[in-house]
């Protein structure tokens, strides 16, 4: 910029923040590591030593961030927590042994007897189950309102409401929350908000930038990314996270050092994998939408999706999960398509390098009555494919032969 002195050019004072892949590779790590190694060590220690009594006293009085006992935190865990906080653009991240442990840890820290929590009804079924079946035993009231009905959400708020919760996008319907409206309702009623952004990841959606108070991820999915670990993470302001961290030290749902290392290693390729998941998801969704035997495709990146506008406005990409309904197929014909697939593996979960496929009726809702399944919006002809990072042409060719084989069988 000619004529602008380096000191008055804001760009020269405030360097551009690093991109997601630079953060994924470097953020949170010490530059010089044990033994001059380029990678972090796996420290297998349940406890950490002090040189003398004064060192213990200094640790307590100065609130030092060193290790004390494994349940309260470990050096490897701190690295990954700092990396995840940087990727999400938050102050403080807290790791748990699974996504569910993170949800339970947060709810237990925020809710007491007589308090209420409001959910959008498409939230992860185990989270809702924990509230409705278990927190109710401790006097916590759960109110579920229809996904995307902001008026109903606001009407469900009472003076006892302590948390508004939603997933975005939801699974398997891929409904997307209008975060501006969601946050505005929370702020006006002074109720903190939580978004389970597992399906979006910090690459595709940045809930904290909209003013959401807590972001949650099952790191088992895209963050770990290799179908080889379970972990969960919560991210928020240092102030909000401090009591949550204290309670985690009591609940004890922490990861082994090996698990933490796998997560750190998986995160190195986070942006590269997300770019491919986004490309594969969109390519598979477009292919399915153009297929005459497919009735509906639920993918927020498609113009036909009911939540496409809000998704396009707020998300960078739309992930690898694609849900579709097969035209005029009963549950058996649908199952034949799933069974004819040769590349994808039949399994629950998503977000790993391997493509996974499942029929929600069978995988998650088999023991429910048809009326209950209808209530959850799970028709017999629904298939969910969680695209991995294989080449999209191969995924599409495989689906193409599977649909043909399944429907002729």
Ligand X SMILES: *Cc1c(COP(=O)(O)O)cnc(C)c1O
* Site for ligand X contains 220 (CB under 6 A): yes
The 8-class DSSP code of residue 130 comes to I
State how far the Cα of 201 lies from the Cα of 216, in Å rounded to an integer.
9
Closest distance of CB 49 from ligand X, Å: 33
Closest distance of CB 167 from ligand X, Å: 5
State how far the Cα of 206 lies from the Cα of 208, in Å rounded to an integer.
6
Given the complex with ligand X, which of 102 and 329 has the nearer CB atom?
102
Given the complex with ligand X, which of 221 and 277 has the nearer CB atom?
221
Tell me the residue nearest to ligand X as measured from the CB. 99
Interface pattern 324-363 for ligand X (x via CB under 6 A): ----------------------------------------
* Site for ligand X contains 196 (CB under 6 A): yes
The span of 39-47, 94-102, 251-259, 298-306 binding ligand X (CB under 6 A) equals 94-102
Strand partners, 357: 346, 385
8 A C-beta contact, residue 338 and residue 383: yes
The span of 67-75, 98-106, 353-361, 368-376 binding ligand X (CB under 6 A) equals 98-106
Given the complex with ligand X, which of 287 and 299 has the nearer CB atom?
299
Closest distance of CB 119 from ligand X, Å: 12
* Site for ligand X contains 198 (CB under 6 A): yes
Sign of the alpha-carbon torsion through 205, 208, 211, 217: positive
Among 120, 124, 182, 307, binds ligand X (CB under 6 A): 124
* Site for ligand X contains 100 (CB under 6 A): yes
Do β-strands 161-167 and 193-196 pair in parallel, antiparallel, or remain unpaired? parallel
CB atoms under 10 Å from CB of 132, counted, come to: 16
The 8-class DSSP code of residue 226 comes to S
The residues, any chain, with a CB within 8 Å of residue 305's CB and separated by 6 or more, are 174, 297, 298, 299, 311
Given the complex with ligand X, which of 67 and 236 has the nearer CB atom?
236
The span of 40-48, 145-153, 192-200, 361-369 binding ligand X (CB under 6 A) equals 192-200
* Site for ligand X contains 171 (CB under 6 A): yes
Question: Which residue, among 323, 309, 302, has the nearest Cα to 178 in the 3D structure?
Answer: 309
Print burial letters for 308-335: b (CB count within 10 Å at least 16), e (below 16): bebbeebbebbbbbbbbbbeebeeebbb
Size of the site for ligand X (CB under 6 A): 14
* Site for ligand X contains 221 (CB under 6 A): yes
* Site for ligand X contains 232 (CB under 6 A): yes
Report CA-CA distances (Å) from 351 to 76, 221, 338.
23, 4, 19
Closest distance of CB 166 from ligand X, Å: 11
Instruction: Give me the residues that bind ligand X (CB under 6 A), please.
Output: 98-100, 124, 167, 171, 196, 198-199, 218, 220-221, 230, 232
């Amino acid at each position: 910029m000619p004529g602008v002195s380096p000191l008055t050019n804001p760009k020269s004072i405030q360097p551009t923040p690093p991109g997601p892949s630079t953060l994924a590779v470097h953020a949170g790590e010490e530059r010089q590591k044990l033994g001059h190694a380029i990678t972090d060590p796996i420290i297998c220690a349940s406890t950490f030593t002090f040189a003398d009594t004064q060192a213990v006293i200094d640790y307590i009085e100065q609130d030092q961030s060193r290790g004390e006992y494994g349940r309260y935190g470990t050096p490897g865990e701190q690295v990954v927590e700092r990396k995840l906080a940087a990727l999400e653009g938050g102050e403080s991240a807290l790791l748990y042994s699974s996504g569910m442990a993170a949800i339970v840890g947060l709810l237990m820290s925020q809710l007491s007897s007589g308090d209420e929590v409001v959910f959008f009804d498409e939230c992860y079924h185990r989270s809702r189950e924990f509230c409705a079946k278990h927190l109710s035993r401790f006097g916590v009231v759960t109110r579920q309102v229809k996904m995307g009905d902001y008026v109903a959400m606001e009407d469900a708020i009472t003076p006892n409401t302590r948390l508004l919760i939603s997933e975005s996008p939801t699974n398997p319907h891929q409904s997307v929350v209008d975060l501006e409206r969601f946050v505005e309702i929370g702020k006006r009623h002074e109720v903190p908000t939580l978004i389970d952004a597992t399906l979006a990841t910090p690459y595709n959606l940045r809930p904290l930038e909209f003013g959401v108070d807590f972001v949650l991820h099952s790191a088992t999915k895209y963050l770990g990314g290799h179908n080889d670990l379970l972990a969960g993470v919560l991210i928020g302001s240092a102030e909000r996270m401090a009591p949550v961290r204290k309670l985690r030290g009591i609940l004890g749902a922490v990861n082994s050092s090996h698990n933490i290392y796998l997560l750190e290693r998986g995160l190195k390729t986070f942006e590269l994998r997300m770019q491919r998941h986004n490309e594969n998801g969109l390519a598979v969704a477009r292919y399915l939408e153009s297929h005459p035997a497919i009735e509906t495709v639920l993918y927020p990146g498609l113009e036909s999706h009911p939540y496409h506008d809000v998704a396009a406005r707020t998300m960078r990409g739309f992930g690898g999960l694609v849900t579709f309904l097969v035209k005029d197929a009963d549950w058996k014909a649908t199952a034949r398509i799933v069974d004819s697939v040769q590349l994808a593996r039949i399994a629950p979960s998503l977000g790993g390098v391997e493509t996974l496929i499942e029929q929600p009726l069978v995988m998650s809702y088999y023991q429910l009555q048809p009326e209950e399944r209808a209530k959850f919006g799970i028709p017999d002809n629904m298939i969910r494919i969680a695209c991995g990072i294989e080449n999209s042409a191969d995924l599409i060719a495989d689906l193409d032969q599977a649909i043909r084989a399944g429907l002729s069988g």
